Amino acid sequence: MVSSPGDALEKLGVDLSGASEDLVGCRREVEAFFGQMRIRWGEGHTWRRAEEGVGVDGGPLIALADQLVKRFAPLAERDPELIPEEGHEILSWSKALRKMREDLAWCTAVDHFPSWAYWWDGRQLCSTPVECADLVGESMEKAPCRGVVAASATLALGGSVENWSTETGLTPNEVLVLDSPFPLAQQMELWVVRMGLRVQDPGYDALVARVVERLVKDNGGRSLVLLSSMRLLRVVGERLKSAPRPFRVLVQGDLPRGELLEFFRQDETSVLVGSVSFREGVDIPGNGLTQVIIDRIPFPHPKDPLVEARQELLGRKAFSSSALPWAKLLLKQAVGRLIRSSSDRGRAVILDCRVTDYPEWEILESLPRVPVRRMNLRVPENEEMGSP
């Protein structure tokens, strides 16, 4: 007589009676829960009070998940060598289900705001810690080590690692901050452009597109354009593609990231238009990248769930202790795409006069010490600022 995998599992204490019904029921509850979330909250919602919950009852789904996890719990108590192959697959699935059940319970409770941010993005429930210092400390205690070496080209701001120390909760015993090995003051310039329009003004996107077009044409291509929104990326990308040009225009979204970067490396005169994600991982030494254009200081969006939670947690200190240091660090990363070797030359262009208009922000102090050119944008009198 041949025994089935189910027989072997039952001998190990696993009750399979009704398991298929539980699975079907769990799937049904998943569809019902997320269907109700879409009806209630549409394409997105951020929770700002710990006591309000998500407004949709996740109890039935959590209960069914508990029931399934308990059904297969005996497997975890057995000697792994006695568990059949199918049992190992079920055990792995059960552990994943337990983790998902814990995550769902955490996200639907919304009871750690504002230490944690909670939001719905139209497809999934999300939660992330607002401050990580305690979590980093707990992790270090669980995995003790003799020492930690933290190294990064953008770890320090203005020669200080205070921001990193605050975020991680770690106080370094020794700090070594090194200047760039390259003579940056002889290799690059920083241009700061006064656009004459604010981001929220009508015509701003069209004006940025015109300025970027002029800059890349004057530079013969060879440019990386970093934009703060997908909307602006589309406007600039369409303008550059539609204009007569002797260089190739590569736009984020047209191809996978890896292919875009490979084409950018291969074609020395090409222009790559990307969002903030291209501040990292772009390393093009030589004549293929002689201009980096950045549309604005990369402050986080005020409606970002993490930003809102930090505002609630830190109050008036949120800007100076969180938003500003991170914006300076990200801007430093973006400018750092330009000079990648001792023979590189070029310019970084920031289309945001706040870099120099607010000296108390000390943004220039966080960037390489290079010549700075302040420029005012002038549009011919017979043209509107945002005209095509």
User: Quick one: pLDDT band at residue 84, thresholds 50, 70, 90?
Assistant: low
Residue 5: pLDDT above 80? no
Return the bridge partners of 373, or none: 191
How confident is the model over 63-67, as a mean pLDDT? 90
- Gap between the Cα atoms of 224 and 231, Å rounded: 17
pLDDT of the residue at 354 = 97
User: Quick one: pLDDT band at residue 373, thresholds 50, 70, 90?
Assistant: very high
- Gap between the Cα atoms of 385 and 201, Å rounded: 10
The residue length of the chain stands at 388
Q: Find tokens 């297969």 and name the residue.
A: 72
pLDDT of the residue at 3 = 44
Cβ partners under 8 Å of residue 233, min gap 6: 227, 251, 252, 253, 273, 274, 275
Cis geometry, peptide bond prior to residue 114 (ω within 30 degrees of 0) = yes
Residue 4: pLDDT above 70? no
- 137 half-sphere exposure, CB direction, 13 A CA radius: 10
Q: Does domain 184-376 have CATH number 3.60.15.10?
A: no
User: Quick one: pLDDT band at residue 224, thresholds 50, 70, 90?
Assistant: very high
pLDDT of the residue at 76 = 67
pLDDT of the residue at 146 = 80
In contact, 269 and 246? CB cutoff 8 Å: yes
pLDDT of the residue at 298 = 95
State the maximum Cα–Cα separation within the chain, in Å, rounded to a whole number.
94
How confident is the model over 260-274, as a mean pLDDT? 96
pLDDT of the residue at 87 = 67
Residue 360: pLDDT above 80? yes
pLDDT of the residue at 269 = 96
pLDDT of the residue at 374 = 96
Return the bridge partners of 349, or none: 191, 293
Residue 135: pLDDT above 90? no
pLDDT of the residue at 2 = 36
How confident is the model over 301-324, as a mean pLDDT? 90
In contact, 127 and 306? CB cutoff 8 Å: no
- pTM metric for this prediction: 0.83
In contact, 59 and 109? CB cutoff 8 Å: no
pLDDT of the residue at 88 = 74
How confident is the model over 133-148, as a mean pLDDT? 81
User: 330-350: per-residue pLDDT in tens?
Assistant: 999 999 999 999 999 999 999
Domain ranges of the chain: 5-110, 133-168, 184-376
Average pLDDT, the chain: 88
Lowest mean pLDDT among 34-43, 78-87, 238-247: 78-87
Lowest mean pLDDT among 28-32, 170-174, 229-233: 170-174
- Gap between the Cα atoms of 180 and 293, Å rounded: 21
H, E, C per residue of the chain: CCCCHHHHHHHCCCCCCCHHHHHHHHHHHHHHHHHHHHHHHCCCEEECCCCCCCCCCCHHHHHHHHHHHHHCHHHHCCCHHHCCHHHHHHHHHHHHHHHHHHHHHHHHHCCCCCCEEEEECCCCEEEEECCCHHHHHHHHHHCCCCCCCCCCCCCCECCECHHHHHHHCCCCCCCCCCCCCCCHHHHEEEEEEECCCCCCCCCHHHHHHHHHHHHHHHCCCCEEEECCCHHHHHHHHHHHHHCCCCCCEEECCCCCHHHHHHHHHHCCCCEEEECHHHHCCCCCCCCCCCEEEECCCCCCCCCCHHHHHHHHHHCCHHHHHHHHHHHHHHHHHHHCCCCCCCCCCEEEEECCCHHHHCHHHCHHHHCCCCCEEEEECCCCCCCCCCCC
